[in-house]
Structure 1
Amino acid sequence: MADRQDKAGQPRWGAVRQDDGRWQVNIWAPTAERLDLVVGDRTLPMDGPTEGWHGAELTAPPGTPYRFVRDGTAYPDPASRRQGGDVNAASLLTDLPAASDWPGRPWPEAVLYELHVGTFTEEGTLRAAADRLKDLTDLGITCVSLMPLAQFAGHRGWGYDGVLPYALHPAYGTPEDLAAFIDEAHRLGAMVLIDAVYNHFGPEGNVLSQLCPGFFDAGRHTPWGAAIAMEEPAVRAFFLQNAEMWVRDYGADGLRLDAVHQIGTPGSTDFLTELSARMEALDLSRPVHLVAEDERNLVSYTGTGTLRAQWNDDWHHAVHCLTTGESQSYYAPFAVDPFDDLVTALRDGQVDQGQERPGGEARGETSHGVHPVRFVNANQTHDQVGNRAMGDRLISLVGAETAMVLHAALLLSPFVPMLFMGEEAGSRAPFRFFTDFDGDLAQIVRDGRRSEFPEFADHKDDIPDPNDPATFAASRPDGGLEGDAGAWRDLTRELLTLRRTRIVPLLAGGYGGAEVTRAGETAVAVWRFDGGRLAMCLAAAGDAPALPGGFEEIHARAVPGGLSMRAGIGGQA
């Protein structure tokens, strides 16, 4: 049950059951003089437009199909909670499950695990994934970050081509399955974040462009097409209400916000602050956590309200260039002196802070002194693995020993760590770009993918076809487990136990800043907190420096003649 309007006074998008049992169905289509609503075998004229909104009230059982009709053409509801088939099928009147109570977890305890439902298990469903959650929580994972769940065209895809943001992708299961997944995670003590894409729609099945073209700003463009007209209150409401659905109705603990630099006008953060306020206004008995992906490196809006942190690709780029020697594309600025960039990342979180950078444009703002928990660091993500031509994981590029050192450095640093599915067990399985398009669109995607990598210009056909089911199947992490999987799991469990017992208690208190000293290709980092100090020593080749005086070593790991690290805990200086 829901109010007819949201907190800002906007009607609620889609079909929402009211307290009297009737359905209120709304859509914003300001250029439509008339819309009809086909419900089962009935056709109802919709009221409006009033300030662009069309609405109708009706009585029907859940599961009844319905469509909007404009100028004789029938369309699914762009705010459909569930489809009767693919993205072009009729929508279904749907009661969402009620979220169960749980107290949540504070953000400093977060250890994220990025999971793609379709490839995480052989079945590719939320039910099957739920059966594996205990394996993750037993290792020390405290937060599962689900890649996008919104319905997209076809069965297979990363999820970033979604076109029905309110509808769960049917290949993953039902709304009840998602609620059960979240309940099981909570029972095991883990949070759940859902990846929300509020910057574009996919290329197939985007009915908004036909039903309400004013949803888009034809004068501005993103890498994926016309920009979304976020200046329109009804458009903002579409996404704000969507966020409320995932968090309030399904019980998710928050959202990972995709590519927020493409939301609104360049440099704007007003949608993010409004979203944060809307999450606070839900007044739940648990904390809500929003994590942004922002290529602008604007960190100042995090740490307030429910905006907890940002993905910090700078950490990834520094360790990747240091250990692989790669320098192509966006790695170029980090390939000049990757160890120095790693020093900066240890001290400040972000490397790019508005200064001029070799081989790249200046971006970002100062992050010096920002609490480390406002950065989510990862050695691998779906982007950094999947956007490679062959989808190779870091372990396949640098070897297991070096990957283990990086694993320890990630999990024992004060920044919020994130593992990509399979990383906890040393999986070598690639994660490739895969889709499920037909006809001309399939060929466009295939050709586009193969033109992205100039190093494959003479053998483009070696790049896996995104539409081949085998490309999808090869991306399951279990298929890449080797004989050292048990050792990897033991290491992950050991490191996350140390994090929980020795590091997290420090993160909950005030932060006094960091000092990092570099000597050649070695560095010693010390982070100061109200409750004590954390130190990490690194060497690009050879033995890591000794810990400063007054520190107890909690872990050390080295590759003979290669990368090495040690970490320690100390009291106040």
Structure 2
Amino acid sequence: MTLWGPMRLEDGRWRFRLWAPDRDAVTLERDGAADIAMARDADGWHAVETLALAGDRYRFRVHPDLAVPDPASRAQSGGVHGWSVLVDPAAPTCDWRGRPWAETVIYELHVGLCGGFSGVAALLPELAAIGVTAIELMPINAFSGTRNWGYDGVLPFAPAEAYGTPDDLRALIDAAHAQGLMIFLDVVYNHFGPDGNYLGAYASAFFHPERHTPWGGAVAVDRAQVAAYFRENALMWLMDYGFDGLRFDAVHAIDNDDFLDALARDIRAATGPDRHIHLMLENERNDPDRLSPDRYDAQWNDDFHNVMHVLLTGERDAYYEDFADRPADKLARCLAEGFIYQGDASPHQGGKARGRPSGHLPPTAFIAFLQNHDQVGNRALGERLIRLATPERLKAATALLLLMPQIPLLFMGEETGAQSPFLFFTDFHDELADAVREGRRREFAGFAAFASEEARAHIPDPNASGTFDASRVAAGNAAAEWRDFYRGLLALRRDRIVPGLPGCRPTGARSLSDAAVLASWRMGSGEALTILLNLGEIAVKTPQAGKPLFLLGEAGGPASFAAWLA
């Protein structure tokens, strides 16, 4: 039985439920109708059944001075402090079954910056044409205000009003499937945003106040009611809307492997074997045990990004410190074994060990990227790599990303050579706005370029509307050239790399200089894939591997890439 959220019954009746163990009495309030007292059971659930219509607005009175939205609201009217809206449940009607994981090329985007759900739908034909096979939406659930970077949501079941209606979201998903595109959603189960989360006012047991996280008390996923909340949320996106997969944000902050394993197991059981459902993790712990066909398909491989960023830019501040020493050796390990940190001491974390061995996993258990929302948006000025590295070196790195066997992820705008920034933006007000602005500036005190207070004062105010507007993707001057570059590489990946990914295994990788790496794989097809990347200024020796599959620059020369498949 579904525990959270409204449920339509027979004869025009709806059941309303709220877990409010801290309250003895809760009243259902409906716009334009009489209030109804709800019955409380021994576990703290308050429930009532009554006649209602889809589109009706409702909320819960948990205190004489406090009425709150449904924490499992399927839609909101008037923002996260306003009324919840009854939405008729609907299941996808098309017979789309998804695509195999090996075919995945992910394009991550921010719905708000693209013009809402309808704006994203307009982009789909162009993305499909260059060879993208999946789009991944940054979090879309309701947040405070009308613009947000994505990770301050407080009502996980309700699509943000600023992006469109639930029907608009369903239309986007149908449009993606019509283009042959999978569509994934980034979900946040490790915390709630700072404005509009009322759970603590009536269900303090939803959190563990004694367990500190950057966002307050840890979410109590070990409690059955809380675990059900997130399980039902995940299944809603997959079953009611038709998403093809979920990316789970920062699961290291959840800190509960039993919950993660049970969540994956329940999702697999509910969605069944006939659909390709893909589950992805972000996990700083580099934990290989979560990655298996019956649990999670893959993990975002931050190690790949971080070492490539060091090689491309020379930056060594903050977490890049962990990748500054012998970066070519570290990249070789990443290509051969997946994670770079596999129990090794992290200098940035004071020598703390991170990760465990991952060399037994297939390359497709890792999602690689040169840029994403974190790695661009968490920069003080939101610069993309195209502003930090030469085009030749960036193209060589992109060729590696798109032709190696790990699953590639692109960040919106890469394919057009966009130079517009992607900044951190919110829509908070008053004291919270001040706290976020100043906290953002303090965050960069450890970077040499922002060590002074004067320098930090130039970091854009997250709450200014101009910060959001500046983050809209603007194609670069060489957009057509970049599109052709991506289209050509992705066609090669589709035709020559993807067929050999099932059963693919690395056969070795080594550094040839302080900025060059040679790596090889035995593909499931029996062919041998060899890749040589040189991001340095000195040529390295080229292997005798036959006719190249793809060549950028002179093989082994400065700022070059070569791939052979034989």
TM-score tier after normalising by the smaller chain length: over 0.9
- SS state at 1:221 partner: strand
Q: Does 1:66 pair with 2:58?
A: yes
1:121-270 matches, cutoff 5 A = 124-264=115-255, 268-270=256-258
In terms of mean alpha carbon deviation, does 560-569 or 139-148 score higher? 560-569
Q: Distance in 2 between matches of 1:289 and 1:307?
A: 7
User: Which one-letter code corresponds to 1:540 in the other structure?
Assistant: L
Q: Which residue of 2 aligns with 1:91?
A: 84
Q: Which residue of 2 aligns with 1:565?
A: 561
C-alpha contact (below 8 Å) 2:12/2:52 kept by paired residues: no
Q: Distance in 1 between matches of 2:179 and 2:109?
A: 17
1:457-483 CA distance string (max 9 Å, x none):
2322211010111111111112xx222
Q: Does 1:517 pair with 2:510?
A: yes
Q: Distance in 2 between matches of 1:260 and 1:347?
A: 25
TM-score (normalised: structure 1) = 0.93
Q: Distance in 2 between matches of 1:464 and 1:358?
A: 30
1:478-557 matches, cutoff 5 A = 478=474, 481-508=475-502, 510-521=503-514, 522-531=516-525, 532-541=527-536, 542-543=538-539, 545-549=541-545, 551-557=546-552
Q: Which residue of 2 aligns with 1:318?
A: 307
1:211-252 CA distance string (max 9 Å, x none):
211111111111111111111100010000000000000000
- SS state at 1:297 partner: coil
Residues 1:300 and 1:545: Cα distance change in structure 2 (over 3 Å): farther
User: Which one-letter code corresponds to 1:45 in the other structure?
Assistant: A
- SS state at 2:426 partner: coil
C-alpha contact (below 8 Å) 1:435/1:467 kept by paired residues: yes
In terms of mean alpha carbon deviation, does 157-166 or 278-287 score higher? 278-287
User: Which one-letter code corresponds to 1:61 in the other structure?
Assistant: L
Q: Distance in 2 between matches of 1:330 and 1:502?
A: 35
1:272-283 matches, cutoff 5 A = 272-283=260-271
User: Which one-letter code corresponds to 1:160 in the other structure?
Assistant: Y
In terms of mean alpha carbon deviation, does 427-436 or 92-101 score higher? 92-101
Q: Does 1:414 pair with 2:405?
A: yes
Q: Which residue of 2 aligns with 1:48?
A: 40
Partner of residue 106 from structure 1, selected from 100, 107, 113: 100
In terms of mean alpha carbon deviation, does 270-279 or 354-363 score higher? 354-363
Shift of 1:306: 4.5
C-alpha contact (below 8 Å) 1:537/1:565 kept by paired residues: yes
Residues 1:544 and 1:495: Cα distance change in structure 2 (over 3 Å): farther
Shift of 1:546: 2.9
Shift of 1:540: 3.0
Shift of 1:410: 0.3
Q: Distance in 1 between matches of 2:540 and 2:46?
A: 66
Shift of 1:519: 2.8
Q: Distance in 1 between matches of 2:207 and 2:363?
A: 37
C-alpha contact (below 8 Å) 1:369/1:513 kept by paired residues: no
Shift of 1:357: 4.3
C-alpha contact (below 8 Å) 2:15/2:47 kept by paired residues: yes
Q: Which residue of 2 aligns with 1:460?
A: 456
User: Which one-letter code corresponds to 2:124 in the other structure?
Assistant: L
Partner of residue 377 from structure 1, selected from 346, 351, 368: 368
Residues 1:357 and 1:160: Cα distance change in structure 2 (over 3 Å): closer
User: Which one-letter code corresponds to 1:212 in the other structure?
Assistant: A
Partner of residue 420 from structure 2, selected from 429, 432, 435: 429
Q: Distance in 2 between matches of 1:352 and 1:415?
A: 17
Shift of 1:545: 4.3
Residues 1:256 and 1:362: Cα distance change in structure 2 (over 3 Å): same
User: Which one-letter code corresponds to 1:118 in the other structure?
Assistant: G
Q: Distance in 2 between matches of 1:543 and 1:130?
A: 45
Q: Does 1:399 pair with 2:390?
A: yes
Q: Does 1:77 pair with 2:67?
A: no
Q: Distance in 2 between matches of 1:365 and 1:537?
A: 27
For these two proteins, the number of residue pairs brought into alignment is 551
- SS state at 1:282 partner: helix
Q: Distance in 1 between matches of 2:295 and 2:48?
A: 35
User: Which one-letter code corresponds to 1:272 in the other structure?
Assistant: L
Q: Does 1:476 pair with 2:472?
A: yes
Shift of 1:312: 0.3
In terms of mean alpha carbon deviation, does 529-538 or 76-85 score higher? 529-538
C-alpha contact (below 8 Å) 1:253/1:287 kept by paired residues: yes
Q: Distance in 2 between matches of 1:94 and 1:523?
A: 54
Shift of 1:399: 2.3
- SS state at 1:523 partner: strand
RMSD between superposed Cα atoms in Å: 1.6
- SS state at 1:525 partner: strand
Identity fraction in percent: 44
1:526-554 CA distance string (max 9 Å, x none):
111331221111223244643443x5411
- SS state at 2:344 partner: coil
Q: Which residue of 2 aligns with 1:451?
A: 442
Give 5+ residue unaligned stretches, structure 2.
none
Q: Distance in 1 between matches of 2:161 and 2:179?
A: 25
Shift of 1:94: 1.1
User: Which one-letter code corresponds to 1:182 in the other structure?
Assistant: I
Shift of 1:434: 0.4
C-alpha contact (below 8 Å) 1:544/1:566 kept by paired residues: no
Q: Distance in 2 between matches of 1:350 and 1:555?
A: 26
User: Which one-letter code corresponds to 1:465 in the other structure?
Assistant: D
User: Which one-letter code corresponds to 1:514 in the other structure?
Assistant: T
C-alpha contact (below 8 Å) 1:370/1:513 kept by paired residues: no
- SS state at 2:286 partner: coil
C-alpha contact (below 8 Å) 1:65/1:91 kept by paired residues: yes
- SS state at 2:76 partner: coil
Q: Distance in 2 between matches of 1:246 and 1:459?
A: 43
User: Which one-letter code corresponds to 1:49 in the other structure?
Assistant: D
1:114-133 CA distance string (max 9 Å, x none):
0101112xxx2111110110
Q: Which residue of 2 aligns with 1:9?
A: none
Shift of 1:205: 0.5
Q: Distance in 1 between matches of 2:123 and 2:468?
A: 20
Q: Distance in 1 between matches of 2:271 and 2:443?
A: 46
Residues 1:407 and 1:49: Cα distance change in structure 2 (over 3 Å): same
User: Which one-letter code corresponds to 1:17 in the other structure?
Assistant: R
- SS state at 1:362 partner: strand
TM-score (normalised: structure 2) = 0.95
- SS state at 2:212 partner: strand
In terms of mean alpha carbon deviation, does 525-534 or 92-101 score higher? 92-101
- SS state at 1:238 partner: helix
1:128-150 CA distance string (max 9 Å, x none):
11011010011000010100001
Q: Distance in 1 between matches of 2:535 and 2:75?
A: 52
Shift of 1:107: 0.6
Shift of 1:19: 4.9
C-alpha contact (below 8 Å) 2:329/2:510 kept by paired residues: no
1:443-498 CA distance string (max 9 Å, x none):
111111111112322322211010111111111112xx222110100010000000
